Amino acid sequence: MNVFVLNTGRCGSVTFARACSHITNFTSGHESRISVAGAERLAFPDRHIEIDNRLAWFCGRLEQQFGDRAFYIHLQRDTDDTIASFVRRADFGIMKAYREGVLLDTEGRLFVEAVAADYVHTVETNIRHFLQGKSHVMTVQLENARTDFRRFWEWIGAEGELQLALQEFDTLHNASVV
C-alpha cells in the first residue's frame, strides 16, 4: 500500500512530511522524486507516504500505476491563506512556472493575486475530481491538523511516535515571510 498526499503546496505539506517521519512502518518523503522523469517519477517503494504538490499534475499516471490500491490524502489549508502564501512567492517555484509556463504570462500582465487564486482553484479542482469515487480517500485540514493527523495515523495503521508526530504541527516549517 502507498499513500499519496495531494495538495496545492503552501498548505502545511512540509509539516505533514515532518510528522510522517515519525512513522516507523512506512517510509515517507517530501518531493522525493522531483528530479526524475518517466517511469522513475512515480517509482515509489511499497509502504511509502509521498507528500508532493506536483502529484496533482500526475493524477492520470497515479491512477494507471496504483489504481485503487493507493490511499489518498487531500491536504488542505484555508484558501485565502494559501493564496496569500503563494503571492509572497510569486517570482519562483510553482507560481513562476504556472504564470509563465501554463498561463503564458511572460510579460507579467496578470495580477499576482489572480494568478495565485487561479493556480489554487485549478489544483484543488483537479484533486477533487481525481478523488471522486475512490474508496481510500481522506481530507486533512491544516487548521485541524492535530485531530486529522491522528485519524490519518489510525486509518493507515501507522506505528511509531504519534506524540512526536503531533508536535511537528506546533512548529512552522517552510513558512512564507510576511
CATH number, domain of 126, equals 3.40.50.300
Question: What is the structure's pLDDT at 86?
Answer: 95
Report the candidate in 87, 73, 79 with the shortest Cα–Cα distance to residue 11. 79
Residue 120, in any domain of the structure: yes
Give pLDDT tens digits for 48-79.
999 999 999 999 999 999 988 999 999 999 99
Give pLDDT tens digits for 103-115.
999 888 889 999 9
Which range among 24-28, 73-77, 106-110, 158-162 shows the weakest confidence by mean pLDDT? Answer: 106-110
Range of the domain at 68: 3-169
Residue 141, in any domain of the structure: yes
Q: Output the pTM of the full model.
A: 0.94
pLDDT at 177 over 60: no
**First CA to last CA across the chain, in angstroms?**
39
Residue 177, in any domain of the structure: no
Give the orientation angle of helix 59-66 with respect to helix 112-131, to 10 degrees: 20
Q: What share of the chain is helix, strand, coil (3-state, %, to 5)?
A: 50, 15, 35
For residue 16, what are the CA distances in angstroms to 38, 75, 94, 100, 149? 26, 9, 19, 29, 8
